[in-house]
């Protein structure tokens, strides 16, 4: 599965818990909070002042490297 800006954070974590570090690296330390269950990557990046395209690229690169 390819991650997009519309992907829900919890769905990304369910794909691979190793992706948590990418969220933590940009200050999303509450990835286990209820917001992560319904918040998209783009929404979370907006709140945390991060670039969603950059985060999506890093996550997809990581996931592709595991195949």
Q: Which of 39, 54, 59 is nearest to 30 (CA)?
A: 39
The pLDDT of residue 52 is 97
pLDDT by residue for the chain (67 residues), tens digit each? 799 999 999 999 999 999 999 999 988 877 777 777 789 999 999 988 999 999 999 999 999 998 7
DSSP character at residue 29: T
Taking phi first (over 0 means left), then psi (-120 to 50 degrees means alpha), and beta for anything else, what does residue 49 get?
A: left
The domain segmentation of the chain, as residue ranges, is: 9-65
Helix (H, G, I), strand (E, B) or coil at 50: coil
């Amino acid at each position: 599965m390819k991650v997009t800006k519309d992907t829900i954070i919890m769905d990304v974590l369910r794909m691979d818990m190793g992706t948590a570090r990418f969220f933590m690296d940009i200050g999303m330390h509450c990835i286990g909070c209820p917001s992560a269950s319904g918040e998209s990557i783009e929404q979370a990046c907006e709140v945390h002042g991060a670039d969603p395209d950059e985060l999506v690229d890093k996550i997809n690169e990581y996931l592709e490297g595991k195949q």
